[in-house]
Chain A
Amino acid sequence: MYRSHVLICGGTGCTSSGSAQVIDALEKELKKNDLENEIKVIRTGCFGLCALGPIMVVYPEGAFYSMVRPEDIPEIVSEHLLKGRIVKRLLYQETVEADTIKTLDNTDFYRKQMRVALKNCGVIDPENINEYIAYDGYQALGKVLTEMTPAQVIDTIKASGLRGRGGAGFPTGLKWSFAAKYDNDQKYVCCNADEGDPGAFMDRSILEGDPNVLIEAMAIAGYAIGASQGYVYIRAEYPIAVKRLSIAIKEAREMGFLGKDIFGSGFDFDLDIRLGSGAFVCGEETALMTSIEGHRGEPRPRPPFPAEKGLFQKPSVLNNVETYANIPQIILRGAEWFASIGTEKSKGTKVFALGGKINNTGLVEVPMGTTLRTIVEEIGGGIPNGKKFKAAQTGGPSGGCIPAEHLDVPIDYDNLIAIGSMMGSGGLIVMDEDTCMVDIAKFFLEFTVDESCGKCTPCRIGTKRMYELLDKISKGKARMEDLDQLDKLAHYIKENSLCGLGQTAPNPVLSTIRYFRDEYVAHIKDKRCPAGVCKELMNYYIDETKCKGCTLCARNCPVGAISGNVKEPHIINRSKCIKCGACMEKCKFGAIEKH
Chain B
Amino acid sequence: MANTISSLKFSGTKEQEAELKKVIAEYKDQKGALMPIMQHAQEIYGYLPIEVQTMIAEGLDIPLEEVYGVATFYAQFALNPKGRYKISVCLGTACYVKGSGEVYERLQTILGIKGGECTPDGKFSLEACRCVGACGLAPVMMINDEVYGRLNPDDVEDILNRYNDK
Contact = CB atoms under 8 A, between A and B. Distances in A.
Interface of A: 12-13, 15-17, 49-51, 53, 195-201, 204, 236-238, 274-275, 277-280, 291-297, 312, 353, 355-357, 361-362, 393, 396, 427, 429-431, 435, 440, 443-444, 447, 453
B36 A443 contact: no
Contacts of B129: 237
B130 A280 contact: yes
Interface stretch (B7-15, B135-143, B156-164): B135-143
A294 B140 CA distance: 31
A199 B93 contact: yes
Interface footprint category on B = 35 or more
A403 to B, nearest CB: 16
A275 B39 contact: yes
Contacts of B33: 294
B25 interface: no
24 contacts: A12-B134, A13-B133, A13-B135, A15-B147, A197-B131, A198-B92, A199-B94, A199-B131, A237-B129, A237-B132, A277-B39, A277-B75, A277-B76, A277-B77, A291-B35, A294-B33, A295-B34, A296-B69, A296-B70, A353-B94, A356-B98, A361-B136, A427-B94, A443-B93
A42 B104 CA distance: 37
Interface in B83-118: 90-94, 96-98
A142 B159 CA distance: 52
A51 B136 contact: yes
Contacts of A357: 97-98
A277 B136 contact: no
Closest 5 CB pairs of A and B: A50-B136, A198-B92, A355-B94, A278-B75, A277-B74
A204 B133 contact: yes
Contact of B76 (A198, A201, A236, A356): A236
Contacts of B75: 277-279
Contacts of A201: 131, 133-135
A355 B135 contact: yes
B46 interface: no
Given A16-B149, A295-B34, A296-B69, 17 more contacts: A12-B132, A50-B134, A196-B130, A198-B91, A198-B130, A199-B131, A201-B131, A201-B135, A237-B76, A278-B75, A291-B35, A294-B35, A295-B69, A355-B136, A356-B93, A356-B138, A361-B135
B137 to A, nearest CB: 6
A296 B74 CA distance: 8
Nearest to A393: B93
Contacts of A396: 93
Nearest to A275: B39
Interface string B47-79: 000000000000000000010011001111100
A211 to B, nearest CB: 15
Nearest to B134: A16
Nearest to B33: A294
Contacts of B76: 236-237, 277-278
B166 interface: no
B117 to A, nearest CB: 17
A103 to B, nearest CB: 22
A278 B96 contact: no
B158 to A, nearest CB: 16
A295 B70 contact: yes
Contacts of B130: 196, 198, 278, 280, 447
Contacts of B36: 274-275
A200 B149 CA distance: 17
A453 B73 CA distance: 8
B120 interface: no
B64 to A, nearest CB: 14
Contact of B94 (A53, A198, A238, A280): A198
Contact of B35 (A204, A274, A447): A274
Nearest to A231: B32
A427 B149 CA distance: 19
Contact of A199 (B31, B66, B92, B149): B92
Contacts of A440: 97
Contacts of A204: 133
Contacts of B39: 236, 275, 277
A16 B73 contact: no
Nearest to A272: B30
B51 to A, nearest CB: 20
Nearest to A14: B136
A396 to B, nearest CB: 7
Given A278-B76, A356-B98, A13 B35 contact: no
A427 B32 contact: no
Nearest to B99: A434
B121 to A, nearest CB: 24
A353 B92 CA distance: 13
A453 B72 CA distance: 11
Given A201-B131, A294-B34, A279 B74 contact: yes
A498 B92 CA distance: 25
A16 B76 CA distance: 21
Nearest to B130: A198
Contacts of B97: 355-357, 429-431, 435, 440
Contacts of B34: 294-295
